[in-house]
Structure 1
Amino acid sequence: MSNSEHFANIMVQCFIEAVNNGVDLVPVVADSTSTAKIKPFIEAFPDRLVNVGIAEQVMVGTAAGLALAGKVAVTCNAAPFLISRSNEQVKVDVCYNNTNVKLFGLNSGASYGPLASTHHSIDDISVMRGFGNIKIFAPSCPIECKQIIEYAIAEQGPVYIRMDGKALPQLHSVDYNFVAGEPSLLRNGKRVVICAMGSVVHEAVDAADILKSQGIEAAVVNVSSIRPLNRCALANMLDGTKHVVSVEEHNINGGLGSVVAEVMAEQGMTAKLVRLGVQDGCYAAAGNRPYTRKMLSIDSAGIVNVCQQLVNQTSA
């Protein structure tokens, strides 16, 4: 893989490799061939793709039927429409019936920028967490994305993968080994621990590097596995700090901020938690990514500012 890649391209290459390796995998799209960047798969296997048209409910129901017939069914379309339009089918056809369907939520978060709330997916993690048996992942970089997809294809049962819509560079080293449930520590530090999910992990790492230059050691924890999650491992990474900041391009309710708050409460931790993301009762701003993230304080500058305030409050 190159240093910076679009997650949808990685997804399609994983599909091609799986079929070449004998996996009976069938992608199902809802007139989303462009969004899914699926053309190389169609060229390799022209009779294997199912396109149901702009009908997300039918897409998910069809995928569940294919899974019941023994296929590995994968759906590929924009996260906001997958989550909102086919909510009941995901709940009943996929989750309740425990079918072997892999749901790819493409262009998640505020990836669609100026297209605003109709196209922003800021509640997908909270919705999926409400369904009891679906595994939930949010890769942060190309190498992690590839390993998560390979894991999902091999795993039996429902999986949701939150996919960012922009090309992203590598964060993990070449010897990184994704393990479902395990958070990964990308930076060390105890003054502040920053927990992040998906593409904003890059913002968190940049913020930690800036803070280090200012004499503030900040840890960065990448939580790419929302379910399953080794809560004890996450608690150990939070142990010993007085300040925790969660960062997500998602509503702070039901997403990573809620996960971190639950772990801290369950472990009786007394550290102060600040949840950065789309605040309660709000929507992500319509605009390009730098503007939107600045408004939400989830860019590196916003994270640095919050961390500085927390440390200064303790020092005062």
Structure 2
Amino acid sequence: MPQTKFMMVRSPKLIKNNQIGYGWGNVDFSKFDNSTDLMKQGFKDVDVGRQTNQIKRYFNLKEGDYVIVPFSGTIAIAEVIGERSHYPITKGIQYGENRISVRYLKHNDGYFIPRINLSTALQNRLKIRMTVCDLSEFSDELYKHIESIKNDKLYTWNTEQELKLQQNTEKFKADLLSRLRSNKDINLQSGGIGLEHLIKEILEAKGYKAHIPAKNEKSGIQDVDVVATRFTEFSGKKEGIFIQVKHHDGTTDNHGIKQVAEYEVNEEDYSQIDKVLITTGDFKDNNFADLRNVTVLAGADFVNWIFDNLEYLSKESLLSLGISSLPTLL
């Protein structure tokens, strides 16, 4: 199957005609079946200088190819239909005598795409001092513009970077969760204690007074690993967060829910009480947690919480997680 071509053609005056045009008004391109005959017969006595390749590129445009037409500060993209015609200068537009029918792609805001939406390399290529220029090396980028236009949207270079950023972010989160579960490539204190201190650090940076209770502080099943409290700024009311932390690789059962749910708190001392189970593992019995008013941050949700609060972690904590502070190219 012939490869789809992407060609820049400087032909801004024919957009209303659904055509593109090229010069050489004394040679009728439409009379020839191939570029070899065109060059041998049509240009037999014509000095084309260095423009042979441009003539051949233009003539060889076929149905399904794409043409990028530069305008001031913008471009338009047209799909080639392929019907050739010739308009002498007395009846047409100068430098547009040899025409090819096209279909200009239209989106919600019209035909034009701001050049700022293009990559720097493509913007620079459009400045080349040629009438016809091959843009096939930018086919991946141009296809994205075409697909966006088909969905009545405008693709931007920033959209591409945002997509890469999102992909990098999702990979970062997945890798971090894998590290937390396996304890590989991180330097947190083992036995879940490192996670407790990590959670405590974030909460303290957000204005809570946090501590890690002694393991024998309460009797029976009741147990929490981090207690955080703070007074609201305007009313002075006391908020409390009581967290049970589990370092699991796999599925966390309901035991942690029971531990934090049973943890005795004098409710009269608090205007708001949150009991939370945080686990690196998966948790499946959300109904069990809901019935006991326990919030669960499990697996990916826990990593999302860490990601959203990275700004509160010290450099040492970031390094212990294997997180670099160096800028990264997308």
Q: Which has the higher helix share?
A: 1
Whether these two folds match at TM > 0.5 is: no
What TM-score, normalized to structure 2? 0.23
Structure (1 or 2) with the larger CA radius of gyration = 2
TM-score if structure 1 supplies the norm length? 0.24
